[in-house]
Chains A and B, each alone.
Chain A
Amino acid sequence: MIPIRNVVAACCMLIAYIGNGETIVIKGSDTLGAKLLPLLAESFRASHSERYKQLSFEIAAEGSSTGIASIIEGATDIGMSSREVAPIEFLQAEANHRDIRQIPVARDCLAVVVHPSNPISNLTRKEIEHLFCGDIQNWAGLSLKSGATSVYVRSSASGTYSAFRELALSGRDYGQNSLSMAGNEQIAEEIANNHNAIGYVGLAYANRFGLKILSVDGLSPNHSDYPLTRPLYFLIDHNHFDNPIARDFVNFVLSEEGQEIVESVYFIPVEGQSKLL
Chain B
Amino acid sequence: MLKVFILSLWKANRSYFDMRPNRDKLNQAESPFTRSETSHRKTHDTKIRFFFKSSAGLTIAILSLITIFLFKEGLGFFGQEYKDLQLYRQSGMEYADLLQEPLEAQANLHQTLIEIRADWINYLKRSKALSPQEIETRLRGKTQDSLFFGYLEATYPLREYVHHKYETAKGIRQNFFPSHHTDVTSPDGTDYLASIHQLTNDLGAYEDLLQLWAFNCASLLVSGNQIEWPNQAFAERYHAFKEAHHELVNDLPNRLGQITEYDPAKPISTLKVFTSFILGKTWISSSDHKDRYGLLPLLTGSLLIALIAISIAIPFSLSAAIYINQIAGTRERNLLKPYIEFISAIPSVVIGFFGVAVFGQLLKTVSSHPFLEWIPFFPIQERLNALTAGALLALMAIPTIFTLAEDALNNVPKRIQEASYSMGATRLQTIFKVVLPGALSGVISAIMLGFGRIIGETMVVLLCAGNRIKIPDFTQGVGVVFEPVHTMTGAIAQEMGEVVQGSLHYRALFMVGIVLFILSLLVNYVAQRVLKRYSHYTQ
Contacts and interface: CB of A to CB of B under 8 A. Distances in A.
B381 A150 contact: yes
B515 interface: no
Contacts of A139: 118
A136 interface: yes
Contacts of A162: 286
A173 interface: yes
Interface in B438-476: 466-470
Interface in B456-512: 466-470, 484, 486, 494-495, 497-501
Contact of B497 (A69, A137, A148, A172): A69
Contacts of B140: 144
B307 interface: no
Contact of B180 (A88, A157, A182): A88
Given A69-B499, A87-B178, A157 B494 contact: yes
Contacts of B497: 62-63, 65-66, 69, 157
Interface in A125-175: 130, 134-141, 144-148, 150, 155-157, 161-162, 165, 170-174
B201 to A, nearest CB: 23
A179 interface: yes
Given A87-B174, A144-B121, A190 B383 contact: yes
Interface string B171-196: 00010001111000000000000000
Contacts of A229: none
A179 B382 contact: yes
A28 to B, nearest CB: 10
Contacts of B170: 171
A148 B381 CA distance: 9
B348 interface: no
B132 interface: yes
Nearest to A72: B500
A179 B467 contact: yes
A47 interface: no
Interface string A178-218: 11111000000010011110000000000000000000000
**For the side of the interface on A, what is the size category?**
35 or more
A69 B500 CA distance: 6
Contacts of A72: 500
B184 to A, nearest CB: 13
Given A150-B381, A179-B484, A193-B383, A171 B122 contact: no
Given A176-B282, A180-B494, A190-B384, A140 B166 contact: no
A182 B486 CA distance: 13
A74 B118 CA distance: 53
Nearest to B462: A182
A55 B286 CA distance: 36
A177 B470 contact: yes
Interface residues of B, number: 53
B289 interface: yes
B534 to A, nearest CB: 43
A25 interface: no
Contacts of B121: 140, 144-146
Contacts of A156: 284-286, 495, 498
Contacts of A174: 284
B337 interface: no
Contacts, number: 126
Contact of B468 (A144, A157, A165, A179): A179
A130 B152 contact: yes
A257 interface: no
A233 to B, nearest CB: 16
Interface in B276-303: 282, 284-289
A72 B170 CA distance: 24
B107 interface: yes
A137 B470 CA distance: 14
Given A66-B498, A155-B495, A157-B498, A138 B115 contact: yes
A138 B500 contact: no
A69 B495 CA distance: 12
B163 interface: yes
B136 interface: yes
B139 A144 contact: yes
B102 to A, nearest CB: 14
Given A171-B288, A173-B287, A141 B381 contact: no
B470 A73 contact: no
Interface string A61-92: 01101100100110000000000000111011
B118 A140 contact: yes
A135 B107 contact: yes
A144 B135 contact: yes
B118 A65 contact: no
A190 B207 CA distance: 44
Given A72-B500, A148-B381, A157 B495 contact: yes
B274 interface: no
B266 to A, nearest CB: 24
B42 interface: no
Contacts of A146: 117-119, 121-122, 125
Task: Identify the interface centre among A135, A162, A174, A190: most chain B CB within 10 Å of its CB.
Answer: A135
Contacts of A87: 174, 178
A141 B470 contact: no
B499 A155 contact: no
A60 B1 CA distance: 39
Contacts of B180: 88
B494 A155 contact: yes
A69 B498 contact: yes
Contacts of B284: 156, 173-174
A62 B498 CA distance: 8
A178 B495 contact: no
Contacts of A141: 110, 114, 117, 148, 152
A180 B288 contact: no
Contacts of A157: 494-495, 497-498
Interface string B108-120: 0011001101110
B152 A176 contact: no
A256 to B, nearest CB: 34
A177 B108 CA distance: 13
Contacts of B166: 171
B528 interface: no
Interface string B136-175: 1001100000001000100000000001001000100010
Contacts of B136: 144
B364 interface: yes
Given A140-B114, A180-B468, A190-B384, 14 more contacts: A63-B497, A69-B498, A89-B500, A138-B111, A141-B152, A146-B118, A155-B494, A156-B286, A156-B498, A157-B494, A171-B170, A176-B468, A180-B469, A181-B467
14 contacts: A73-B500, A130-B152, A137-B111, A140-B121, A141-B148, A141-B152, A145-B121, A146-B119, A147-B381, A173-B289, A177-B468, A178-B468, A180-B486, A190-B384
Q: Shortest 8 CB-CB distances between A and B: which pairs?
A: A65-B498, A140-B118, A157-B498, A146-B118, A141-B114, A66-B497, A146-B121, A176-B470
